[in-house]
Structure 1
Amino acid sequence: MTSINFHFIDARGALIDHRDWLHTRLLATYAKASALMPLRPLDVIVKAGTHVIPEKGHLGYTPEPGLIFLTVDPASDIFRANQEASLERMFAHELHHAARWDGPGYGSSLGEALVSEGLAGAFAQEVCGGLPEPWERLDVSDIRRHVAMAASYWSRKDYGHDAWFFGASDLPRWLGYSLGFQLVKRFLLEHEGSTSSSLVEMEAEAFRGVLAVI
């Protein structure tokens, strides 16, 4: 395995009862992920906090090559339950982002963000199995209402990330995640033998034509 360093930011001891469990789960997920695709050396910052996804009790963020931030809420019953390997799935998602940062990057246009998120979501399934995440499950009929808009905004960098992915405007919450997931799902169906891990360095433009068949 390549180098990975976990840094627990915990001077106040909020994670003292969870640290060993977190380290074991995260390291096991890293081992599975690195067996599927190359991962360059990584620093992973783990801290306690309340700025998490309420439905999960944790949050991952990979802003640049070689660095992942993980926030967990020790007070969250959902976090502690870890149903369907929720923590491992989140970390697998972020590991795909990390690998993609070392290739074409996350991207700055709508199309690039859709593909990066769709591939990361598919990789979580590749590593952990199970159902798509809640943010990847918008009804396809709802997604289709916005495909034409996505096509027109595909190359734009002023697309409004919070609007497309978090429902900060009149777009449905999590639309970008669900649309990206469908893009990758359809692409994989059309390209037998491909996987989210094998496509980690694929340019987003290769997925653009799939919009027409969602």
Structure 2
Amino acid sequence: MWSVDEVPPSVRPILPEVEAALEGVWGRIAALREPPPIRFALVADPSRALPGYGFGGFCGSAGRVRLSFDMRSPNLEAHLGEALERTVAHEVHHALRWAGPGYGTRLGAALATEGLAGRFVGQLYGSPPEPWEARVPPGGLGPWRARADAAFEDAGYDHPAWFFGTGEPPHWIGYALGYDMVGRHLERHPEATALSLADAPHGIFRDALRG
């Protein structure tokens, strides 16, 4: 099992629920492959928690995941089950990708990394897209697919603008584009899965982005 090696006192009351979520994700992944070694850190940081959930995840390396909690969120308790598991699974896929090509420094790489993580959650749980992955319906992605294709290999892209709505693109458009792009690729390659593609170079998804 994974270890939780940082737990501040304010987060300790929900540690049993967090450990149960980690165990749930571990079990689902173990049915497919050996889970990667990861150390988890829990932090009390409302600024990094999604308001609708009361928590958020971040993975910046192959062996480390941070889970941030807003302990005062009225939505936290209701989402400490499968919703938390899905967040953990998303970050675990990031950890797998960090062990291969990494998150990436180009727009296309970020789209692939986020899209694969989202589709991995669906692979494990059979769940629909998360709100950030469905913020823009597939029918409204056309113009943004074209713009993302034009900037696909741009290493100077504005990540907050594409993924967090700090610029012209709609809020979370990067997540929606990545989820759609990887989904299209999987439809064309039914032998593949988000897990089997964890190490795939981002360039193989570009044709799917184009439609």
TM-score of Structure 1 vs Structure 2, range by shorter chain: over 0.9
Give deviations 1:31-52, integer Å, cap 9, x for gaps.
Answer: 2124334443211111222121
Superposition pairs of residues 153-172 of structure 1, within 5 angstroms = 153-172=151-170
Q: 2 CA distance for matches of 1:160 and 1:65? A: 24
> Where do 5+ consecutive residues of structure 2 fail to align?
none
Map of 1:119 onto structure 2? 116
Letter in 2 for 1:46: L
The one of 87, 90, 94 equivalent to 1:93 is 90
Give deviations 1:65-88, integer Å, cap 9, x for gaps.
Answer: 211111112222222101872101
Identity rate, percent: 33
Q: 2 CA distance for matches of 1:209 and 1:106? A: 20
Letter in 2 for 1:168: T
The answer to whether the 8 A contact 2:103-2:110 is kept is yes
Q: Which runs of 4+ in 1 moved over 6 A?
A: none
> Where do 5+ consecutive residues of structure 1 fail to align?
none
Aligned residues: 209
Structure 1 position 146 matched with structure 2 position 182: no
Q: Post-superposition shift, 1:28?
A: 1.8
Map of 1:188 onto structure 2? 186
Q: 2 CA distance for matches of 1:43 and 1:102? A: 14
Structure 1 position 20 matched with structure 2 position 16: yes
> 3-state SS of the aligned residue for 1:132?
coil
With normalisation by structure 2, the TM-score equals 0.93
Map of 2:46 onto structure 1? 50
> 3-state SS of the aligned residue for 2:191?
coil
The answer to whether the 8 A contact 2:2-2:22 is kept is no
Structure 1 position 206 matched with structure 2 position 204: yes
> 3-state SS of the aligned residue for 1:59?
strand
The answer to whether the 8 A contact 2:59-2:95 is kept is yes
Give deviations 1:179-214, integer Å, cap 9, x for gaps.
Answer: 00000110111011211111111111111111221x
The answer to whether the 8 A contact 1:88-1:128 is kept is no
Letter in 2 for 1:82: H
RMSD of aligned C-alpha atoms?
1.5
Q: 1 CA distance for matches of 2:80 and 2:6? A: 23
Letter in 2 for 1:104: P
The one of 70, 78, 100 equivalent to 2:67 is 70
Q: Post-superposition shift, 1:25?
A: 1.4
Structure 1 position 110 matched with structure 2 position 104: no
Letter in 1 for 2:41: I
Q: 1 CA distance for matches of 2:73 and 2:202? A: 36
The answer to whether the 8 A contact 1:33-1:95 is kept is no
Q: 1 CA distance for matches of 2:189 and 2:115? A: 16
Letter in 1 for 2:98: W
> 3-state SS of the aligned residue for 2:75?
helix
The answer to whether the 8 A contact 2:26-2:35 is kept is no
> 3-state SS of the aligned residue for 1:76?
coil
The answer to whether the 8 A contact 1:44-1:67 is kept is yes
